[in-house]
Amino acid sequence: MRKIPTGGFLSPSKRTNSMGVQAEDTRICVIMVGLPARGKSLIAQKIVRYLGWLSITAKTFNVGQYRRSATPNPSAEFFDTSNPEGERLRRAAAEAAVGDMCKWFREGRGLVAILDATNSTKSRRRWILERCQAESIATLFVESKCDDEDLIMQNILEVKTTSPDYKGQDPEEAARDFRERIRNYEKVYETIDEDERDLTYCKLINVGHQVVINQIRDYLQSRVVYYLMNLHIRPRSIWLSRHGESQYNLVGKLGGDADLSSRGEAYAKTLPSLVQKSAGDRQLTVWTSTLKRTIQTARFLPFEKLEWKALDELDSGVCDGLTYAEVEEKYPEDFAQRDEDKYNYRYLGGESYRDVVIRLEPIIMELERSENILIVTHQAILRCIYAYFMNVPQERSPWMEVPLHTLIKLTPKAYTTVEERLKADIPAVSTFREKGSRARGNTIGDGAKPLSPTAQEDAKGLGLGLAADGKPVMGDAKPPPES
């Protein structure tokens, strides 16, 4: 089994964003360039989501939306460059979008704006460059070129026929009109070339096949370009699972490197068939952390396995090995502070969710490059990865409930990520503690059934109290209240 170490990333602090201080003083306008149906909006939306996940506020300014408020249902002729009225209205929409974007920067609302439009002529690009220079905003032109007819068709059908421009129209008619619109743009389209070598740009040819970069100057630009270099748009899914129930989960202890409980073992044995149900005969690659509970959970899966240090559970520092109740008793202020701002709270000698996101960045990058990956990891880590794909806000992500013994399948689509959950029929405790709730032990997650005889043995072996009815009394002196 190969071991992959974590990358040496900047050490985070609560006051800087996740990319380090340099990013704080740079404002960048990313200008999309390309014919319609080349995945520009998808790329723009991915950049915004990626940067947001890294605490860099970014926003898309979509010129189409500005144009639509003046001209909601234009025909293909509207986009004919020999039509002066169409030209005037399209220019007005671009001016309104750029104007709002500059105002957004001036008000200090964020660091990265994405100007999503075709920006298909040199004169249009020059005009945007000058507007940005006048406001001291750095620019990064991102051109998406695509000559793969299948990909273009797929994009036309999947995205454009559901566009507000074609609302209520016959999809065949909408696709025909849209192809006509593309032909009109093709008449005037100028790719970024030698004459524009003073521009900072990144040209993506058939996303994921070839990348040309020019004049990348600063840190934030290079981070965005690096992200773009790792993208591909082939259809794929990602599977996520927590490890099976561990001995520590049974007693409500945090962290550690415990073995699986007998129910966790049962989940490990069931996982191959659960995965087969969800992924069919696809050959997956399994990524685990370096901790025993994930390695044990993955061990029956008939696939290549990689261990990542970056996938290890959030380090709970001095609280490692304690229960929530013990943390509350020993460190009452810390316990309250964590509830107050769980994303930023850093355990004494340990980590915060913000820290975890930074060490997960190489994982996200690798995930973007890959296909068919199954990740077996931990509660906090899974929350962070899930938040990236599902665009969950920072303040909410640490509070998401991620049950044990459940396989999650995520399928990124053009504008959303589709989620499916498959639950194994094996009970497990719930390690979820709601914000503001008093610390108590983990509760049984299967409708409060008594523990099976083997689980009762596990529990006794760990010195865990059992109520008369066989339900565990975990991590606390008092039994959990009946619900």
Is the Cβ of residue 218 or residue 320 nearer to ligand FDP in the bound state? 320
Backbone dihedral region of 405: left (phi > 0), alpha (psi from -120 to 50 degrees) or beta?
A: left
Distance CA 182, CA 180 (A): 5
Rule CB under 6 A: is residue 316 a binding residue for ligand FDP?
Answer: yes
Distance CA 473, CA 461 (A): 14
Minimum distance of ligand FDP from residue 398's CB (angstroms)? 6
Is the Cβ of residue 34 or residue 398 nearer to ligand FDP in the bound state? 398
Is-contact 428 267, C-beta < 8 A?
yes
Q: Choose the stretch contacting ligand FDP; rule: CB under 6 A; options: 206-214, 248-256, 302-310, 448-456.
A: 248-256
The answer on whether 68 is annotated among ligand-binding residues is: no
Binders of ligand FDP in range 400-439 (CB under 6 A): 431
Is the Cβ of residue 38 or residue 433 nearer to ligand FDP in the bound state? 433
Alpha helix locations (H) across 54-191?
63-70, 84-106, 122-134, 149-158, 171-188
Q: Which position among 40, 145, 305, 378 is part of the footprint of ligand FDP (CB under 6 A)?
A: 378
Vertex 398: Cα angle to 15 and 57 (nearest 5): 45
SS3 state of residue 260: strand
> Taken in order 384, 388, 394, 399, is the CA torsion positive or negative?
negative
Angle subtended by helix axes 40-53 and 353-369, to nearest 10: 150
The answer on whether 434 is annotated among ligand-binding residues is: no
SS3 content of the chain, % helix, strand, coil (to 5): 45, 15, 40
Minimum distance of ligand FDP from residue 421's CB (angstroms)? 18
Q: Which position among 12, 39, 52, 255 is part of the footprint of ligand FDP (CB under 6 A)?
A: 255
The answer on whether 247 is annotated among ligand-binding residues is: yes
- Is 405 catalytic? The answer is no
Pairing between β-strand 429-430 and β-strand 472-473 as defined by DSSP bridges = unpaired
Which amino acid is it at 197?
R
The answer on whether 245 is annotated among ligand-binding residues is: yes
Instruction: Using only the alpha carbons of the chain, give its radius of gyration.
Output: 26
Is the Cβ of residue 382 or residue 451 nearer to ligand FDP in the bound state? 382
The DSSP-derived string for 275-298 is HHHHHTT---EEEE-SSHHHHHHH
Element (H, E) at 46: helix 40-53
The answer on whether 65 is annotated among ligand-binding residues is: no
Among the options 143, 307, 313, 351, which is catalytic?
Answer: 313
Minimum distance of ligand FDP from residue 293's CB (angstroms)? 7
Among the options 243, 326, 351, 368, which is catalytic?
Answer: 243
Distance CA 384, CA 310 (A): 12
Give the total of residues touching ligand FDP (CB under 6 A).
13
The answer on whether 372 is annotated among ligand-binding residues is: no
Q: Which position among 42, 94, 254, 375 is part of the footprint of ligand FDP (CB under 6 A)?
A: 254
The answer on whether 248 is annotated among ligand-binding residues is: yes
The residues with which 446 forms a beta bridge, in sequence order, are none
- Is 313 catalytic? The answer is yes
Pairing between β-strand 238-242 and β-strand 373-377 as defined by DSSP bridges = parallel
Q: Choose the stretch contacting ligand FDP; rule: CB under 6 A; options: 65-73, 246-254, 358-366, 448-456.
A: 246-254
Q: Which position among 379, 394, 397, 443 is part of the footprint of ligand FDP (CB under 6 A)?
A: 379
Q: Which position among 116, 313, 355, 368 is part of the footprint of ligand FDP (CB under 6 A)?
A: 313
Q: Which position among 39, 264, 398, 480 is part of the footprint of ligand FDP (CB under 6 A)?
A: 398
Rule CB under 6 A: is residue 357 a binding residue for ligand FDP?
Answer: no
Binders of ligand FDP in range 321-350 (CB under 6 A): none
Rule CB under 6 A: is residue 314 a binding residue for ligand FDP?
Answer: yes
Q: Choose the stretch contacting ligand FDP; rule: CB under 6 A; options: 46-54, 115-123, 202-210, 374-382.
A: 374-382
167: tokens are: 């609302």
Rule CB under 6 A: is residue 472 a binding residue for ligand FDP?
Answer: no
Site string for ligand FDP, 5-44 (x = CB under 6 A): ----------------------------------------
Distance CA 427, CA 126 (A): 62
Is the Cβ of residue 86 or residue 398 nearer to ligand FDP in the bound state? 398
Give every CB contact of residue 112 below 8 A, 6+ residues apart in sequence. 27, 28, 29, 30, 47, 48, 51, 56, 57, 58, 59, 220, 224
Rule CB under 6 A: is residue 443 a binding residue for ligand FDP?
Answer: no
Give every CB contact of residue 452 below 8 A, 6+ residues apart in sequence. 262, 263, 427
Residue ranges of the annotated binding site for substrate are: 242-249, 293
Positions that interact with ligand FDP (CB under 6 A)? 246, 248-249, 254-255, 313-314, 316, 378-380, 398, 431
Catalytic residues: 243, 313
